[in-house]
Amino acid sequence: MTLEQYLSENSESEAAFGMRVGASQAAVNRWVHGIRTPSRKFILAINEATQGVVTPADWYATQEPAA
């Protein structure tokens, strides 16, 4: 599952999620829109914060480039 899907399905804001993983809202926005890929540290934090719903492998699945 993508982080965007997770946030939508759980009605969680980028800012609230960022606070849970120790990142800014701007960083979460960049991850959600595919502008940046989180560092290993954040990929692991996201996996933990989502209880394994957003896995490390999800970041490396084929995705459409950001517009």
Helices (H), 1-67: 3-9, 14-21, 25-32, 40-49
Tokens representing 49 are 């914060």
Q: Can you give the residue ranges of every domain in the chain?
A: 3-56
Q: Can you tell me which residue has the tokens 């490390």?
A: 56
Helix (H, G, I), strand (E, B) or coil at 29: helix
Which two structure tokens, joined as six digits, stand for 6? 């997770």
Q: Each residue of 2-41: pLDDT tens digit? A: 999 999 999 999 999 999 999 999 999 999 999 999 999 9
> Has residue 66 got a pLDDT over 70?
no
- What pLDDT sits at residue 60? 87
Whether the pTM exceeds 0.85: the reply is: yes
What CATH number has the domain spanning 3-56?
1.10.260.40
